[in-house]
Amino acid sequence: MSGSMRPLKIDDTPLYGAPGLLVCGLDDESAGELRALVLTLDWPALPVSFAGRKDLKTKVGTLFRERPMAPENLGGVAVIMAGITGNQLQVLMKSWRASPLPPSLWATLNQTNEHWPLLTLLKHLAEERKEMAKARRPSPPPKE
C-alpha cells in the first residue's frame, strides 16, 4: 500500500467525476450538520449522499450515481469527494475540522477506486491512515 497517495493540486481544476460527496458513518444528526455546513459554504447544488451498511459491497462509482440516503453510524467516518476543485476540497476539510463533526478519513474518487466496493476503499483508507501515523512517529533512540 505504501506510495499509493499522491499530492493533490490545490487550484480550480475539478477532481475526477461529477461533483458530489459520498459520506459513510454519519448518523442522522451529524448528516444534518454536514448538510448545514455545505450550505454555509454556499454550495447548495453539491449533491451529498450517505452510505450505510447495506452499501458496503456496492461499487463506489455506482454509489455516486445512485446517491444513497442511508446515514448510519458505522464506528468511523469517511468522505469521498468528486468533481469539486482542489481549492473547494481544502475549504471543506478546514470547515469540517472546525465544526462539531467527528474526525474523518478523506478520499477523492478516481478511475481506479470507482470500481472498488465501498468496503475495499474504506479498508484502504484505514491502512493509509495507519501508515501515515507510523511515519510520523519518532524513531526510537539507537541502542548502545
Q: Is residue 36 one of the residues assigned to a domain? A: yes
- 8 A C-beta contact, residue 78 and residue 105: yes
Nearest to 105 by CA among 96, 114, 113: 96
- Residue 2 banded pLDDT, cuts 50, 70, 90: very low
pLDDT tens digits along 66-91: 999 999 999 899 999 999 999 999 99
pTM of the model: 0.87
CA 73 to CA 30: how far, in whole Å? 9
Total domain count, the chain:
1
Q: Is residue 144 one of the residues assigned to a domain? A: no
Q: Is residue 15 one of the residues assigned to a domain? A: no
Nearest to 101 by CA among 44, 45, 27, 41: 27
- pLDDT tops 50 at residue 3: no
| Boundaries of domain holding 87 | 20-128
Q: Is residue 12 one of the residues assigned to a domain? A: no
Q: Is residue 72 one of the residues assigned to a domain? A: yes
Neighbouring CB atoms inside 10 A of 22's CB total 26
- Residue 117 banded pLDDT, cuts 50, 70, 90: very high
Burial of 56 (0-12, 13-18, 19+ CB in 10 A): middle
Q: Is residue 141 one of the residues assigned to a domain? A: no
Q: Is residue 121 one of the residues assigned to a domain? A: yes
Mean per-residue pLDDT for 117-132? 92
Q: Is residue 68 one of the residues assigned to a domain? A: yes
CA 64 to CA 80: how far, in whole Å? 9
